[in-house]
Chain A
Amino acid sequence: MRKSALIVLLVMSLPLIIFVWLNRNGTLASIAESSVSQMTGTKVNIQGLNLDIFSLQAELNGLRIGDPNHEFKNMLEADRANMKIEFMPLLAGKLVIEDMRLEKLNFNTARQDSGWLEKPKAAPSTPSAVDGSDSSADQPPTPVSEKTAAKDKKAEASKLEQLKEKMPVIDLSALSKDVDVEALMKPEDMASVKAIRATKEDSQQRLNDINKRLDEQTIEQDIDTLETDYAAFEKTDLKSLKGLKEGAKQLKSMKSSVDSIKKQSSAIVKDTKADLKAVKTSVKDVKSLTQQDIAEVKKLAKLGDLDVSDVGKAVFGAAAIDRFSQVLHYLKLAKEFVSSDEDQFENVGEQRRTGRDVRFSVTQPLPPKFYIKTAIFSGGDSVSSFDGRMSDMSSNPHRLSQPVLTKIKLDTEKNNWLIDGVFDHRKNKDEDQLVMSAKQADLGKISLGAGKDSGLPQTIIPQQTDLEMKFVIQGDQLNGQLAMVSNKVNFEYSPDAKANTQTKKALRNVFQSFDQVTLDATISGKLSNPNFAVRSNIDKKVSQELNRLLGKKAQAINKKIQNRVNGIVRGELKDVEDGVAKQKQNIEKRLGKRAKKLKVIEDKIAAKQKDIEALIQKKAGKKVDKAKDQLKKKLKF
């Protein structure tokens, strides 16, 4: 029985073993395709795979990885790849490649079929539609793993683009002609005017409320009633001691009514003072908005502050941000290869018998589902070639003790670039770093993005340049640095930009005088709200020259704008202050009249109380004397 069972089992297994043997290449290719596809969120194609089962060496032909941003482009294409696979992890369905060599590697190549796993769902509005960038560009595909950052990439890039819009503008054409301040400003759009009008409404409301409270109160009627009562009291004949005592009681009651009215009046005076103080504070706040309005109009007038720091930003800002955007793009591209399959680790078993995987803390490195220990690659085209190595690339960095390291050497006809990347996704906060550096490089023409009429150069041609660009992203925090030292530099103007004014000619001379340029640009803070600063050796000189040529004119225009804005604000403020003062006067008049009337009656009551008390004492004294006399007489008898 045992023997026959074993034979049956062997006979049954034999076709399976043969099938697996014959399909080993296809099986391994599909494991590799699905693993890499899971990491990138795009299609991965492997044309041919040949596995030597004894040495576990695999040769792979025609590797193509789809681009998450362009449907019909490959992010990466390699002619041939050799790899050594580890046996034990294969038993657990994991692909661990000890050593991988990719040859004839190419990037951004065209592909016939779609490189996306599935078509993206139509979004109601995309950030590109809002920021006005190219909305016809391919949308990234919805990846299998939700972790891909492809969707956010455009948004992040547009954050840097927004920085470009905030660059200071130095428009010499604006400075050289008279600025029509009136045409630039609309009082109804000014923040200070809006605030003043709001204050006006608020103060009116407060004063109306005070008046309403005064109307609703019965203080005036109470005072009148008190006067009538007192007049009636005065007419009564107070002769007997009992009558006098009754009168004193009535006066005491009137006095407490006076106190009550005084209390009510003082409460309303207190509230009025608080309301008027609030109105004054609002007016004070408005004054700070005036400075904001002045800055806004100056911006519309295209007046640079001719400040040292502004010059650096105005000249190199846009170009530096372009470079930062480019490095950020490379960084994001590399990050896509370091994404984690951790989120699918604890899947929810929707079907029976699938269960859920529970995660525990990782105390020692274990191979994840897909892991390349070392990848050595090379490629290039007729003008450039590159070679590099990448280590510890995996589908789940949490399971590894090393960050992913990349080192690439890129040689073009004129330059040698070194690219170093460190991608550490082992902790909760990812930390990615990319450094690109070149020595004595010829960087060609770099567009500076200055306007035609700015008087600033449109392009810079730096030669013999040492350049280092470093970008570090930790969670949402970023820190980018660009350091450039160019020993030979030329500035170029577009043929349309003519040096038709004295100022433009002078400025051109200043730029032509620079042989060497040192530039330091930094970008820091949160990715959603980055801070940007530029420092260069030309800042001071250009700023001085601009101030010499245009300082007085700029100051005059500034003053004109300031005066006009202050004039509008002052006019509006006067209106509010006059209105408040008038209302305040009315309220004070009403309150004063009441107080005067109340004082009169209070004095009368006090005097009468004094009189009555004296009479009571007198009457009571006589009565006591009479009683004493009677008692004495009785005792004598």
Chain B
Amino acid sequence: MFWLKMLADLIRAIQKSASPRQLAAGFVLGFCFGLIPGWPLQVIIILLLIIFFNVNIALAMIGATLGPIVGWLFDPMLDSLGLWLLRDIAALQDLWIAMYNNTAAMLTRFNNTVVMGSSALAIIFSIPLYFLLSWAVTQYREKLMIKIRGLRIFRAVMESRLFSLVMKSED
């Protein structure tokens, strides 16, 4: 029921109710939340951002589900990226040493290769992903939405009894 409700929210949000930016920000934050393993400080901050900012929760949950899958699939690469950032870049060594000797900074678990690798990936890709998703939602609404609404399968889902019940309960 929860997932069905989430799906209803998602469809409604994509169709019209949420702005493209809200949708993109929800997905990006959820994805980052899921990508970084464990509960380091940055994950808690992302969670608070999701809760306190007006981003789309449904897309955040989808992102949070996809994040760990991507993280698991690319684990060796994230590990290597993290190790490269922590060990091989001389210019960053002073920063790492300073962070290593700071209790608050250690809460980020920055010295773990996978946490560092996935955090770096999240920083690098979150902004382009945000703009790409915003643009994609706009494009969808302008060009694809009418065509998709006309699809039989879409109509079948929307007109199903169960879905109507869920939508009604939401209202």
Contact between B113 and A355, CB atoms less than 8 A apart: yes
Contact between A89 and B103, CB atoms less than 8 A apart: yes
- Is A267 engaged at the interface, CB distance under 8 Å to the other chain? no
Stretch at the interface among B78-86, B129-137, B159-167: B78-86
| Interface bits A321-358 vs B (CB < 8 Å: 1, else 0) | 00000000000000000000000000001001111111
B-chain residues with CB within 8 Å of residue A9 when the two chains form the complex: 51
With A5-B51, A92-B103 known as contacts, the answer to whether A356 contacts B112 (CB < 8 A) is: yes
Contact between A358 and B54, CB atoms less than 8 A apart: no
CB distance from B34 to the nearest CB of A (A): 11
Contact between B101 and A5, CB atoms less than 8 A apart: no
- Is B64 engaged at the interface, CB distance under 8 Å to the other chain? no
Contact between B100 and A353, CB atoms less than 8 A apart: no
* Cβ contact of A358, chosen from B75, B78, B86, B103, cutoff 8 A: B86
With A360-B96, A360-B100, A364-B101 known as contacts, the answer to whether A355 contacts B82 (CB < 8 A) is: yes
- The count of chain A contact residues (Cβ–Cβ below 8 Å) is 25
Instruction: For the complex, give the distance between the alpha carbons of A9 and B60 in Å.
Output: 14
* Cβ contact of A362, chosen from B57, B93, B101, cutoff 8 A: B101
- Is A383 engaged at the interface, CB distance under 8 Å to the other chain? no
Contact between B113 and A367, CB atoms less than 8 A apart: no
Instruction: For the complex, give the distance between the alpha carbons of A355 and B116 in Å.
Output: 9
CB distance from B13 to the nearest CB of A (A): 9
Contact between B103 and A353, CB atoms less than 8 A apart: no
Nearest A residue (CB) for B99: A360
B-chain residues with CB within 8 Å of residue A359 when the two chains form the complex: 100, 111
| Interface bits B98-114 vs A (CB < 8 Å: 1, else 0) | 10110100110001111
Contact between B51 and A366, CB atoms less than 8 A apart: no
Contact between A363 and B101, CB atoms less than 8 A apart: yes
* Residues in A367-411 with C-beta less than 8 Å from chain B: 367
Nearest B residue (CB) for A360: B100
Nearest B residue (CB) for A361: B97
- Is B87 engaged at the interface, CB distance under 8 Å to the other chain? yes
* Cβ contact of A352, chosen from B75, B96, B100, cutoff 8 A: B75
- Is B71 engaged at the interface, CB distance under 8 Å to the other chain? yes
- Is A183 engaged at the interface, CB distance under 8 Å to the other chain? no
- Is A2 engaged at the interface, CB distance under 8 Å to the other chain? yes
Contact between A352 and B57, CB atoms less than 8 A apart: no
* Residues in B40-92 with C-beta less than 8 Å from chain A: 51, 54, 57, 68, 71-72, 75, 78-79, 82-83, 86-87
Contact between B51 and A6, CB atoms less than 8 A apart: yes
A-chain residues with CB within 8 Å of residue B114 when the two chains form the complex: 349, 353-356
Nearest A residue (CB) for B78: A355
Nearest A residue (CB) for B86: A358
B-chain residues with CB within 8 Å of residue A352 when the two chains form the complex: 72, 75
B-chain residues with CB within 8 Å of residue A91 when the two chains form the complex: 107
Nearest A residue (CB) for B115: A355
A-chain residues with CB within 8 Å of residue B98 when the two chains form the complex: 363
Instruction: For the complex, give the distance between the alpha carbons of A312 and B22 in Å.
Output: 89
- The count of chain B contact residues (Cβ–Cβ below 8 Å) is 30
Instruction: For the complex, give the distance between the alpha carbons of A281 and B96 in Å.
Output: 65
- Is A22 engaged at the interface, CB distance under 8 Å to the other chain? no
- Is A1 engaged at the interface, CB distance under 8 Å to the other chain? yes
Instruction: For the complex, give the distance between the alpha carbons of A5 and B61 in Å.
Output: 12
Instruction: For the complex, give the distance between the alpha carbons of A353 and B82 in Å.
Output: 12
Instruction: For the complex, give the distance between the alpha carbons of A2 and B98 in Å.
Output: 38
Nearest B residue (CB) for A351: B75
Contact between A92 and B113, CB atoms less than 8 A apart: no
Contact between B79 and A360, CB atoms less than 8 A apart: no
Per DSSP, chain B at the interface is helix
With A5-B51, A6-B51, A349-B79 known as contacts, the answer to whether A357 contacts B112 (CB < 8 A) is: yes
A-chain residues with CB within 8 Å of residue B57 when the two chains form the complex: 1, 5
B-chain residues with CB within 8 Å of residue A2 when the two chains form the complex: 54
Contact between B103 and A88, CB atoms less than 8 A apart: yes
With A358-B86, A360-B96, A363-B101 known as contacts, the answer to whether A353 contacts B71 (CB < 8 A) is: yes
Q: Which of A2, A89, A357, A360 has the most CB of B within 10 A?
A: A360
* Cβ contact of A366, chosen from B37, B79, B106, cutoff 8 A: B106
Instruction: For the complex, give the distance between the alpha carbons of A362 and B107 in Å.
Output: 16
CB distance from A368 to the nearest CB of B (A): 11
Nearest A residue (CB) for B68: A353
Instruction: For the complex, give the distance between the alpha carbons of A92 and B113 in Å.
Output: 18
| Interface bits A98-126 vs B (CB < 8 Å: 1, else 0) | 00000000000000000000000000000
A-chain residues with CB within 8 Å of residue B115 when the two chains form the complex: 355
CB distance from B61 to the nearest CB of A (A): 10
Nearest A residue (CB) for B117: A355
Nearest B residue (CB) for A362: B101
Contact between B87 and A367, CB atoms less than 8 A apart: no
Instruction: For the complex, give the distance between the alpha carbons of A631 and B117 in Å.
Output: 115
Instruction: For the complex, give the distance between the alpha carbons of A424 and B12 in Å.
Output: 65
* Cβ contact of A357, chosen from B54, B111, B117, cutoff 8 A: B111
CB distance from A86 to the nearest CB of B (A): 11
CB distance from B141 to the nearest CB of A (A): 19
CB distance from A520 to the nearest CB of B (A): 46
| Interface bits A56-93 vs B (CB < 8 Å: 1, else 0) | 00000000000000000000000000000000110110
Nearest A residue (CB) for B93: A360
Contact between B113 and A353, CB atoms less than 8 A apart: no
Contact between B86 and A355, CB atoms less than 8 A apart: no
Instruction: For the complex, give the distance between the alpha carbons of A514 and B97 in Å.
Output: 65
Contact between B111 and A366, CB atoms less than 8 A apart: no
With A355-B79, A358-B83, A363-B97 known as contacts, the answer to whether A92 contacts B107 (CB < 8 A) is: yes
CB distance from B40 to the nearest CB of A (A): 10
B-chain residues with CB within 8 Å of residue A1 when the two chains form the complex: 57
Nearest B residue (CB) for A89: B103
Query: A92-B106, A353-B75 provided; 17 other pairs, C-beta below 8 A?
Result: A5-B51, A6-B51, A349-B114, A352-B72, A352-B75, A354-B114, A355-B113, A355-B115, A355-B116, A355-B117, A357-B111, A358-B96, A358-B111, A360-B101, A360-B111, A361-B97, A362-B100
- The 4 lowest CB-CB distance pairs between A and B, nearest first, are A355-B114, A360-B100, A352-B75, A355-B113
Jot down 21 A-B pairs with beta carbons below 8 A, ordered by A: A2-B54, A5-B57, A6-B51, A89-B103, A92-B107, A349-B114, A355-B37, A355-B78, A356-B83, A356-B113, A356-B114, A357-B112, A358-B87, A358-B113, A360-B97, A360-B100, A360-B101, A360-B111, A362-B101, A366-B101, A366-B106
Question: Chain B interface (Cβ within 8 Å of chain A)?
Answer: 37, 51, 54, 57, 68, 71-72, 75, 78-79, 82-83, 86-87, 93, 96-98, 100-101, 103, 106-107, 111-117
